[in-house]
Amino acid sequence: MEHKSLEETLREHPFLEGFKPEHIRKMAEMALEVQFGRDQIIFREGQESGLFFLILSGKVALEISAPGRILRVQTLGPGEELGWSSVLGEGGKHFQARSLETVRALAFEGARLRQACEQDPSFGYALMRQLLKVVAERLQATRLQLLDLYAPRAAKLI
């Protein structure tokens, strides 16, 4: 995929909604198209993976290991982001990521993104703002998940 078409692809990705054209161009220069087969481990819990992904197609499961079992806590699909902690560059991965079907994505090196943010604060603000939105959405969804809203309770109108 050439830069031009990468730019077009990125322009259509919801993560980059509201980005200026020059910021999309900058992202395109750093993007690498990747593909994962079904049931492939993209990264493991605790692993120092430096890649941030924008998913183009397919589905990825985030899993966490518990003694004797693996829990699937979230799935991500086209238009979503994977590996946001790579952009911060601190510590290992909190979850294991597994492709549930063939996944196409654009990969970005977290270190390069950080460097670009430092060189161009306007780009850095746009990127960090979008990342914060992603993290806030995930936090809100996790809180709702923790509430266990559908647990059985005494019925009124059922």
Partner 1 sequence: MSEVAQATLTMTRARVLAVEKETHDTFTLTVASADPDPLPPFEPGQFSMLYVFGVGELPISISGDPGEPERQVYTIRSVGQATHTLVSQRPGNMIGVRGPFGTSWPVKAARGKDVLIVAGGIGLAPLRPVIYHVLRHRDDYVRLLVLYGARSPRDLLYRRQLAEWGRAPDTQVLVTVDYGGLSWRGHVGVVTTLFRQVRLHPSETVAFICGPEIMMRYVVRQLEARGLAPEDIYISMERNMKCGVGFCGHCQLGPYFVCKDGPVFSYRQMQPWMDIHEL
Task: Tell me whether residue 91 or residue 143 sits nearer to partner 1 (CB atom).
Answer: 143
Q: Is 119 exposed, middle or buried (0-12, 13-18, 19+ CB in 10 A)?
A: exposed
Considering only the stretches 28-36, 45-53, 76-84, 123-131, report the one whose residues sit in contact with partner 1 under the rule CB under 8 A: 76-84
Task: Tell me whether residue 58 or residue 110 sits nearer to partner 1 (CB atom).
Answer: 58
**Three-state secondary structure call for residue 72:** strand
Binding string, residues 118-157; x marks residues near partner 1 by CB under 8 A: -------------------x--xx--xx-xxxxxxxxxxx
Task: Tell me whether residue 90 or residue 153 sits nearer to partner 1 (CB atom).
Answer: 153
Q: What is the 3-state secondary structure (H, E, C) of 107-127?
A: EEEHHHHHHHHHHCHHHHHHH
Query: Could you say whether residue 1 binds partner 1 (CB under 8 A)?
Result: no
Q: Which residues contact 138 (CB under 8 A, 6 or more apart)?
A: 74
Q: Which helix (H) or strand (E) holds 43?
A: strand 41-43
Query: Could you say whether residue 64 binds partner 1 (CB under 8 A)?
Result: no
| C-beta atoms surrounding 99 within 10 Å | 21
Task: Tell me whether residue 91 or residue 152 sits nearer to partner 1 (CB atom).
Answer: 152
Q: Which residues bind partner 1 (CB under 8 A)?
A: 14, 59, 61-63, 69-75, 77-80, 100-101, 137, 140-141, 144-145, 147-158
